[in-house]
Amino acid sequence: MIRGLIFDINGTTSDILTNEGHDDMYRTLAYFLDYQGIALRPEELRERYFAINKRQRKESGEEFPEFDAVAVFKEIIDQCASDYTNKLPSAKRRLLPTVCAEVFRAASRFKLELYPGVISTLDALKSRYSLAALSDGQSVWGLPELHSLGLDGYFNPLLISSDFGYRKPDGRLFALILKKMRLTADEAIFVGNDMYRDVFGAKTAGLKTVFFKSNQGDQRSRGLEADYIIYNFPELLEATRFLEAQTADS
C-alpha cells in the first residue's frame, strides 16, 4: 500500500533558473560587501567563492558532497574583514554570512515559478498521502523559495542536502526521510526530474519512482528505469493510481 510521496523540489515542482557565472551578480555582491567594510573586486570575489566551495567539497570526504553557502561567505568575510567590519553591531556581523548568501542567490536568479498544475495536484494528493520533500541545495535558499512559491505548508518532513553535507543519490538521505515519515520503502513513491540523483537514488533505496521529464535535470538512463514517466505535473495523479494498483496486485 502506498502511504507517502516524496518530492524533489527544483526542476520537479519549481521551474528555476540561476546563473552563478554571471558578472553582474559578483558586482552586486562586491558592492554590498563594500558597505560592510570589505573591499573585494568582483573577479576576486568570484575566485574566492569557487575556491572555497571546491575545497569544502573536496575536504568533506563524502562520495556525493554538498557545500555550505553560508560557511563559504563566513570564510570570505572572516578573511577580508576590516576594522570597520569588526566594529559593525554584533547582531549584524553575526548575520552577515547568511545575508550575503541570500544576496548572492537573489542576484543569480532569473526565474522562479511553479510548473503548471503543481498546487492543484498537491491539493488532490495531500488528503490521501503524506507528502514530504527531499531536495539537493541550500536551506538558506530553499526555504525562502518554497515560501515564495506558496509551497511551504505542503511537505513534512522537508530535508535539504546542505544540512547534511551530502546530496542525492546518497542512500542515507532516502533512509532518513522514510524514517521521519515512519514508512518503509515499499510504502512510498519518489517524484523527481533527475534520472541519476532522483530515480537511481530512490530505486537503489527500494522506492518506486515517478520521473518528471521537465526542462531540467539529467535525463539519461543510469541502469535503473523509473516506474512511471510523466511529462506534465498533473499526470502524477494517474501515476499514483497506477502504482497504487500495481502495489495492490503484487
**Residues 27-70: pLDDT tens digits?**
999 999 999 999 999 999 999 999 999 999 999 999 999 999 99
* 109-149 pLDDT per residue, tens: 999 999 999 999 999 999 999 999 999 999 999 999 999 99
152-197 per-position pLDDT tens digit: 999 999 999 999 999 999 999 999 999 999 999 999 999 999 999 9
Q: Rounded to 5 degrees, what are φ and ψ at 190?
A: -105, 135
CA distance 4 to 25: 39
Which pTM was predicted? Answer: 0.95
When pLDDT is cut at 50, 70 and 90, the band that residue 247 belongs to is confident
As a whole number of angstroms, the distance between CA 131 and CA 157 comes to 8
Q: Can you give the residue ranges of every domain in the chain?
A: 4-17+112-249, 19-110
pLDDT at res. 231: 98
Name the residue with cell 575536504.
59
CB proximity list for 137: less than 8 A, separation 6 or greater: 9, 10, 160, 161, 162
- Calculate the CA 1 to chain-centre distance: 28
41 compared with 250, residue with greater pLDDT: 41
CATH of 4-17+112-249, one of 3.30.450.20, 3.40.50.2300, 3.40.50.1000, 3.40.50.1220: 3.40.50.1000
Burial class (CB in 10 A: 0-12, 13-18, 19+), 192: buried
Our measurement of the distance from residue 81's CA atom to the centroid of its chain's CA atoms, rounded to an integer in Å, reads 30
pLDDT grade, residue 249 (50/70/90)? low
H-assigned helices in 201-235:
201-204
